[in-house]
Chain A
Amino acid sequence: MYGEKIKKILEFKKIKEGDAVILKTERNEYKGIIMPRIGYGDKECLILKLTNGYNVGIEVNRIIDIKKTEGDIVPLRNVSQTEDYKIKGNPEEEIVILGCGGTIASKIEYRTGAVYPAITTEELIQSFPQLKEKKIRTRMLFSLLSENMTPKHWTQIANAIKEEIEKGCKGIVLMHGTDTMHYTAAALSYMIKTPVPIVMVGAQRSSDRGSSDNMMNLMSALIAAESDIAEITVCMHATENDDYCYLHRGTKVRKMHTSRRDAFKTINGNPIARIYPDEDRIEIISSYEKRGKNKLIVDTELNPNVALIYVYPGMKTDVLDSLIEHHEGAVLIGTGLGHIPTQLIDVIKKHSDKKPIVISSQTINGRLNMNVYETGRQMQDAGVIGHLMDWTPEAAFVKLMYALAHADNLIEVRKIMETNLSGEITERNEE
């Protein structure tokens, strides 16, 4: 949004964003289109798109005259919320593409650079012309930046998946923002037993650029959705090359880089498969649940009142105490084998007979072991859950939500936590 001075001038001259204008400064005269101001920058600089396509900012005080002119008036896009969803042929043969936002499903408004979600199937096919050749149906659930997702959205997604599988489909592809994709993947893994593949996919590079990873990731996800692998998985670039994707288990995957294409890694294990989209080929690396083995069960009960707490040197006892106080359970991200500073152990003791306190590690890689050092042994005595687990903090965090909603008492919570539900715990690590 522009500042007051510019707004006044534009109002007075009856000029709207997107109008073609002639703007005069003391020295020159410029033809261009008024651009909206997005995000950052000086609100008192008017952004003019010149006829050569470049944008420049001109400070309001230097504008001697501005007037609307004939010519290229550009209607800026209005996002319509219409949904395009229909079953065209035999639903059993179709792959359902569900959208919940994120870079992969976004389009760019080229004149402003503003990013908006692709809403309709047509828009999606416009972005991915190859989709024309595939049997798909699409459904846009919502459009959120993944950092804004909540457990409610996970439930919403799980319910939509249930509906689609009940209607009949070959597999599901879920387009999702990458920041919290591994949380959603873990949540869906606990909530759903599936007879068909459910593949989550995202993009690390925006769709406007020729180099976007969206195309390769989506094409690979479609291959996975047609495959025999009936699990909740995440399909993303395996390397920094455009050669193949990894299919990761939903409970073991984690975003491990802020920006690289191959940001997603399987932690403490191997991915399920490599997918070569150009060759339409899938190469299995690990064992998996086969298509049709499981009946569809969707149980979306979660107790979202769980804290995920990063423990740090010198952490004050009252800070931890207060955080646990305000939640019904907590997952601590401890150091090394799963330790926390000794002074915090009393805080754990205080709560652990009423609330589950779960541990995970800041090292991300490797197994927790609370026997090796005295601190670990004290923590076990204090009732901490997590000894010998190799879960990611996020998988443990979402699992605790699930456990709290499915147990009547602390003993049952511990039992659920320590049982492998969906591949989040592995007992052997070879690497």
Chain B
Amino acid sequence: MDKGIKIGLELHQRLATKNKLFCRCSTKGNEEKIKEIKRKLHAVPSELGQIDPAALFESKKAPLHKYDFYKGTCCLVEADDEPPHEMNSEAVILGLTICNMLNAEIVDEIHVMRKTVIDGSNTSGFQRTAILGLNGKLKYENEIEGRKEEKEIGIQTIAIEEESCGIIGEQKGEIESFRLDRLGIPLVEIATTPDIKNGREARTVAEQIGLMLRATGKMMRGIGTIRQDLNISVSGGARVEIKGVQDLDLIETVVENEIKRQTRLIEICEKIKKIREIRPELDDLFENEYVLEQCIKEVTELFNGTGSKLIKKSVESGKSVFAMKFPGMKGIFGIELYPDYRYGSELSDYAKTQGLGGIIHSDENIEKYNLKNEVSEIVKILKLEPNDGWIVVVGEKEQCISALKLVFKRAYETKVPEETRRADLQGKTHYMRPLPGSARMYPETDVAPIRITDSMLSESQDYPSFEEIENRVYSLLNREIGGKIIRSEKLNLFLELVEEGINPVVAAVTCEDTLKSLKRDGFEIAKLSEEDIKEALLLYRDEKITKAAIPELLKEMIKRNGHANEVIKDSGLFRISGEELKGLIIKENIKDVQSLMVKYRLNVDPQEASKIISELKK
């Protein structure tokens, strides 16, 4: 079922360089905050006097940004109070290595560009980025209905760019807080050609690229250090960029949802076209903001003493309620685009960008909201005819009006809009901003172009082959668990653990199976850093805990948000061994290992116990 589907993948991976990309700050965290900077970004017109739609959108949204400035990882360059230094040569060489691995054509001179970003995530108002390689390719194995097949995907570009600030939080949409320590960490961006056909293929390609990058051993590890963006279009739909898919397992869902979304939207657009044909007066509303605003009615009074708890609370706190008529829309808001996501949800996302919680629309179950009486009043006030729909929003007056205007324009769109969307943890996507235009990229004149020299190229040739790593892993583990670890994001952690003298099987099982089962049981494994896992396993290596206690210790660490060496103290997880174990066996008069293990499963190593028991029997 090919619907003219085009999927391209953009993968971003942080590089584990010592310093940042354009200054000498450390890339490794330090939590000591030394100051806070407050800044505003404004939309800047391009040379044709045009303001990039995405940039304008953001500048209207967030007026003031707060930046936390940390010791050691932030300097005036991050604060946009000093021009960038030369591009970090360690990152350049690593980038060239990746170009070689992907068989790309390396440029002769690197030109750093500024990509306009004014959502506040870059203090300068742009992200610095540069292409190092073009037209590469990646061979990978694709599985179709159980059959393995060699495939090849084109790599359009390989770029090195600076990471943005980390978002700390938002307060009423007014001030958004960021942390500056993440800004400027080098990233590699790998963009494939849009030749991926489905979600499974997208996942496989992402996995393969991640695998290849990790093989260099020079990638940052941990949550958020790798993320995927997806470009998806369906024939008759539009190019949609989906940002920030962090979990490989989500890629398939995201892709499938998006294909469904666009396919359904194409159908809805046809319905909208018909509505707009019958009701040409809608066109005027698109052209005239004033007339459009006249269609928005304040209905706050209707909700004094409303049965809806949610609205009651808002109205009591001084918020207003606004309603708007949507001619001909009855039944359309409720059309499901993909499971648990309707056309109404799509519009709700637009309202959310204006700081509202969402919308209530005419295709929803009004009983659920306890709004039966209010709705019948709204029908009268808006003079609704049988085919008309309505939308109600709650919030500050200005937010409500701008949200309804935005929602109205989106609702009557006759083609699928080009958008930048954000993926959530369920694999749904939400509207963020319009797709950026081409006015977005221009040269970074503060950084001199970098001529690629022969010595740089020869330095970049030096990387471990994937086969070498594969052979090493299979020399330590059997095919089954070895295959898992080779594909795992924890590959480098595994190799490091083995270096530390930890039993390879225990290391691999912990990295793969244990973490997965903890996640399945609802433990927030994101709280465990690689250092945490290492610390726990070192306790095992040093015979302070038993193998069986490892998962329990990890659980405790997650629960208490603590380090292994602290958590172990009062956890009752210490291993009982040697004379102590012998004493215990004698004291409790234990005759066989099983009965000992029933009681002391987590604290006793069964092999040691059986040895002691058989010695005692003698």
Contacts and interface: CB of A to CB of B under 8 A. Distances in A.
A209 B108 contact: no
Interface stretch (A86-94, A104-112, A168-176, A179-187): A104-112
Interface in B101-121: 105, 107-111, 113-116, 118
B108 A27 contact: no
A41 B37 contact: no
B157 A242 contact: no
Contacts of B82: 258-260
B268 to A, nearest CB: 31
A414 interface: no
Interface residues of B, number: 55
A294 B43 CA distance: 41
A45 B47 CA distance: 26
Decide if the interface of chain A is mainly helix, strand, loop or mixed: loop
Contacts of A107: 47
Interface stretch (B142-150, B359-367, B445-453, B559-567): B445-453
Nearest to B64: A242
A126 B51 CA distance: 10
A71 interface: no
A322 interface: no
Interface stretch (A55-63, A226-234, A313-321, A364-372): A55-63
Given A113-B442, A240-B37, A41 B159 contact: no
Interface in A240-259: 240-243, 258-259
Contact of A56 (B37, B79, B134): B134
A216 B79 CA distance: 17
B126 A210 contact: yes
A261 interface: yes
Given A126-B49, A205-B80, A243-B38, A55 B113 contact: yes
Interface string A181-210: 000000000000000000000001101111
Interface in A30-47: 30, 38-42, 45, 47
A111 B442 contact: yes
B47 A77 contact: yes
Contacts of A235: none
A138 to B, nearest CB: 17
Interface residues of A, number: 52
B65 to A, nearest CB: 9
Nearest to B43: A210
A57 B133 CA distance: 11
B1 to A, nearest CB: 30
Contacts of B125: 209-212
A127 interface: yes
A204 B124 CA distance: 12
B113 A207 contact: no
Interface stretch (B313-321, B433-441, B521-529): B433-441
Contacts of B116: 210
B47 A242 contact: no
Interface string B123-165: 1111001110011000000000000000000001101000000
A245 B444 CA distance: 28
Contacts of B448: 39-41
B444 A113 contact: yes
A210 B129 CA distance: 17
Contacts of A259: 76, 81-83
A28 interface: yes
A56 B107 contact: yes
A314 to B, nearest CB: 32
Given A41-B451, A241-B39, A259-B83, A57 B108 contact: yes
A108 B441 CA distance: 12
Interface string B348-389: 000000000000000000000000000000000000000000
A144 B450 CA distance: 29
Contacts of B111: 47, 54-57
Given A55-B443, A208-B442, A25 B81 contact: no
B483 interface: no
B40 interface: yes
Contact of A42 (B42, B64, B76, B109): B109
A62 B108 contact: yes
A405 interface: no
Interface string B57-93: 0010000100000000000100111110000000000
Nearest to B120: A210
A52 interface: yes
A109 B47 contact: yes
Nearest to B446: A206
Interface string B441-475: 11111001101000000000000000000000000
B609 interface: no
Interface string A384-409: 00000000000000000000000000
A30 B83 contact: no
A333 interface: no
Contacts of A77: 47
A111 B47 contact: yes
Contacts of A47: 109, 111
A58 B83 contact: no
A55 B129 CA distance: 10
A256 to B, nearest CB: 13
B22 to A, nearest CB: 13
Contacts of B83: 259
A209 B443 contact: no
A38 B442 CA distance: 13
Nearest to B449: A41
A115 interface: yes
Contacts of A41: 109, 448-449, 451
Interface in B172-204: none
A308 interface: no
A31 to B, nearest CB: 11
A77 B55 CA distance: 23
A41 B116 CA distance: 24
B46 interface: yes
A134 to B, nearest CB: 17
Interface in B22-58: 37-47, 49, 55
Contacts of A126: 45, 49
B34 to A, nearest CB: 13
Nearest to A60: B108
Contact of B157 (A38, A54, A205): A54
A50 interface: yes
A115 B37 contact: no
B124 A56 contact: no
A126 B46 CA distance: 9
A38 B124 CA distance: 22
A95 interface: no
B47 A54 contact: no
A35 to B, nearest CB: 8
A96 interface: no
Given A42-B451, A55-B113, A242-B38, A210 B442 contact: no
A50 to B, nearest CB: 7
Interface string A101-132: 00000011111111100000000001101000
A58 B111 CA distance: 11
Contacts of A215: 42
A55 B157 CA distance: 12
Contacts of A62: 108
Given A42-B108, A58-B109, A212-B42, 8 more contacts: A27-B135, A39-B445, A52-B157, A53-B115, A57-B110, A59-B108, A110-B46, A243-B38
Interface of A: 25, 27-28, 30, 38-42, 45, 47, 50, 52-59, 62, 77, 107-115, 126-127, 129, 204-205, 207-212, 215-216, 240-243, 258-261
27 contacts: A28-B135, A39-B445, A40-B449, A41-B448, A53-B440, A54-B157, A54-B159, A55-B111, A55-B113, A56-B131, A56-B134, A57-B107, A57-B109, A59-B108, A62-B108, A77-B47, A111-B442, A113-B443, A113-B444, A114-B445, A126-B45, A209-B125, A209-B126, A212-B125, A216-B40, A242-B40, A261-B81
Q: Sorted from nearest, which 3 A-B pairs have the closest CB atoms?
A: A57-B109, A210-B125, A113-B443
